[in-house]
Amino acid sequence: MARVGYWNHNVHYQPVILGAVPAGCGAALEVGCGDGMLARRLAGRCTEVTAIDRDARMIALARSGEQKAQTGRVTFVEADFLSHPLAGASFDFACANTALHHMDFAAALTAMARMLRPGGRLAVVGLAANGSIGDYLADVPGIPVNWLYRARYGQDGSGAPAEDPEMTWAEVRATARRLLPGARYRRHLLWRYSLLWRKPA
């Protein structure tokens, strides 16, 4: 069964994604769904959710917990997002939580934008690499905050494959702003960034 109730940095920033879901959302797409925790939460806000991941073990784990979704419908797809034939302009919302550094970042953003209907929204939480002294200094305030959260909640993972990011924070920001004009980039305290974007109507 897929586990629920654990805490880690990815889970901590799920509310950033959930808060970006448009009112009355119909179809939603999650790229790199892992154990399905976020997809099931999206199902409470969207009519239907397509959740895709290329890792067979994680998709099996996600499907084992599918009945935990209280509302909506979730379809878990085992496939490589960048090669899977999803229809363009077919989703009201597209998101990814700490998944895009596992693939070609620019290609993934472009594909997610293409799959949104006009007026649809995109939300990404991700990882990036430090590329300057300023980046390392920006990490420092998160250290005591992380200790406090771990003391309160513990820290656990879904068991999804881990990979270090190659793109720096600045490269992520520049690429996102080039591909998604008007995108809002923010670097967060616990070693994550968020990208929020609305596709022009």
Q: What is the pLDDT of residues 81-96, one digit of tens each?
A: 999 999 999 999 999 9
What confidence tier does 2 reach under pLDDT thresholds 50, 70, 90? very low
pLDDT at 47 over 70: yes
Q: Which residues are CB-contacts of 60 (< 8 A; sequence separation ≥ 6)?
A: none
Q: Is residue 3 part of a domain?
A: no
Lowest mean pLDDT among 22-26, 63-67, 83-87, 193-197: 63-67
Q: Please name the amino acid found at residue 26.
A: G
Q: Is residue 142 part of a domain?
A: no
Q: Is residue 146 part of a domain?
A: no
Give the mean model confidence (pLDDT) for residues 104-131. Answer: 97
Question: Is the overall model pTM greater than 0.75, yes or no?
Answer: yes
What confidence tier does 1 reach under pLDDT thresholds 50, 70, 90? very low
Q: Is residue 58 part of a domain?
A: yes
**Count of domains in the chain?**
1
pLDDT at 37 over 70: yes
User: What pLDDT is stored for residue 70 in this prediction?
Assistant: 47
User: What pLDDT is stored for residue 68 in this prediction?
Assistant: 54
CA terminus-to-terminus distance, the chain: 41
Q: Is residue 150 part of a domain?
A: no
Element (H, E) at 170: helix 169-179
pLDDT at 125 over 70: yes
Q: Is residue 122 part of a domain?
A: yes
More confident call, 161 vs 200: 200
Give the mean model confidence (pLDDT) for residues 96-114. Answer: 97
Q: Transcribe 40-95 into DSSP letters.
A: HHHTTTSSEEEEEES-HHHHHHHHHTGGG--SSEEEEEES-TTTS-PPTT-EEEEE
Give the mean model confidence (pLDDT) for residues 48-72. Answer: 81
Mean pLDDT, the chain, whole residue set: 91
Q: Is residue 77 part of a domain?
A: yes
Domain that holds residue 16: 9-129+157-198
CATH number of the domain at 60, please: 3.40.50.150
